[in-house]
Amino acid sequence: MEEFKTLFDQIKSKIENAKSIDELEKIRVEIMGRNGIITSLMKKIPEMPIEERSKFGKDVNDLKEKANKFLSERMILLREIEERSKAFQKYIDLTIPGPLRENGKIHVINQVINECVSVFSKMGFDVVEGPEMENVYYNFEALNTPEWHPARDLHDTFYITDSILLRTHTSPVQVRTMERRKPPLRIVSAGRVYRNDYDATHLPSFFQIEGLAIDQKISMADLKGTLENAIKSLLGEDKKIRFRPHYFPFTEPSVEVDVSFGGKKEWLEILGAGMVHPNVLRNVGIDPDKWQGFAFGMGIERIAMLKYGINDIREFPRNSLKFLRLF
């Protein structure tokens, strides 16, 4: 009995491990064939004592039946596997191109920021960063704009607390930089700013790039030359540029710069600039009798509008792929 059990287990595992129809056929011959295991057991019967023959014969038959059953079950399974893999080979066409995957691309705003940074880098400006959530001190006070100042009305924004707000311009980065670095210095800083504004040329959240140069003997001529050079590099030599006198609390004198827009005699304002106000320098401990500087803050969306002839600034936050794919 014990011997039949081990023999059966061996046969079973052999069959189960057959990996192909050919291999299974070899195993079948090994078990069932003329010189196979079962036949050789049968051949032993005539040599046995008569009383044992019937029990032994029955056990051999039993083994044979079970082995047959396993063989045919395994055969069905292997046939199915082989058929499937044939069908697979038949239908797989490795020459068909894969599913089309669209490439992502850099957002038009970031493209313009990168271009601005590259233009100013070539002129020797370093890139620095500042927080979007700002203290009232950096956003206004340090920039010579005390609480009673009418200029604050133009910069209404989102307040987190009484003294913390979403910055209305990138100018606070000027102050943060001058607190950390000694002049001479030239920096630009791009990022998001926030304001209570919304129409075809204004957004409640938009992008600016700030510039600051502090040195000895810097004049309005340096400001003008730097900005003209930058604007022409960004928008083309043929662009008409207009410097208009203006007022900012943190510069004196101050200007706004417009660029010709849309063929007709139209102008689009793209930046504010000026010579850094002595009070701003004093606030960060720089002696205004020794150092001067110019600063500017340019609207990134405005540059993109001019570059690509976009009439409505509200296209940018709409996030329509049809629009974004154009750039």
Task: Give contact residues for ligand DAH (rule: CB under 6 A).
Answer: 169, 171, 210, 248, 250-251, 272-274, 295-297
Nearest approach, Cβ of residue 260 and ligand DAH (Å): 21
60 versus 273: smaller Cβ distance to ligand DAH: 273
Torsion sign across C-alpha atoms 174, 180, 186, 191? negative
Nearest approach, Cβ of residue 180 and ligand DAH (Å): 17
User: What 3-state class would DSSP assign to 194?
Assistant: strand
28 versus 155: smaller Cβ distance to ligand DAH: 155
Tokens 């604050």 belong to residue: 152
Nearest approach, Cβ of residue 272 and ligand DAH (Å): 3
7 versus 189: smaller Cβ distance to ligand DAH: 189
* 169 touches 208 (CB < 8 A): yes
11 versus 295: smaller Cβ distance to ligand DAH: 295
Nearest approach, Cβ of residue 268 and ligand DAH (Å): 14
Q: Which residues pair with 244 in a beta bridge?
A: 256
What is the rounded distance in angstroms from the CA atom of residue 243 to the CA atom of residue 269?
A: 10
Nearest approach, Cβ of residue 298 and ligand DAH (Å): 8
The number of CA neighbours under 13 Å toward the Cβ of 285 is: 7
Query: Which parts of 23-140 are beta strand (E)?
Result: 126-127, 133-135
* 187 touches 128 (CB < 8 A): yes
27 versus 276: smaller Cβ distance to ligand DAH: 276
130 versus 274: smaller Cβ distance to ligand DAH: 274
Nearest approach, Cβ of residue 254 and ligand DAH (Å): 6
Nearest approach, Cβ of residue 158 and ligand DAH (Å): 16
- HEC string for 214-275: EECCCCHHHHHHHHHHHHHHHHCCCCCEEEEEEEECCEEEEEEEEEEECCCCEEEEEEEEEE
Burial grade of 188 (CB within 10 A; 0-12, 13-18, 19 or more): buried
15 versus 227: smaller Cβ distance to ligand DAH: 227
Cis peptide before 131 (omega within 30 of 0): no
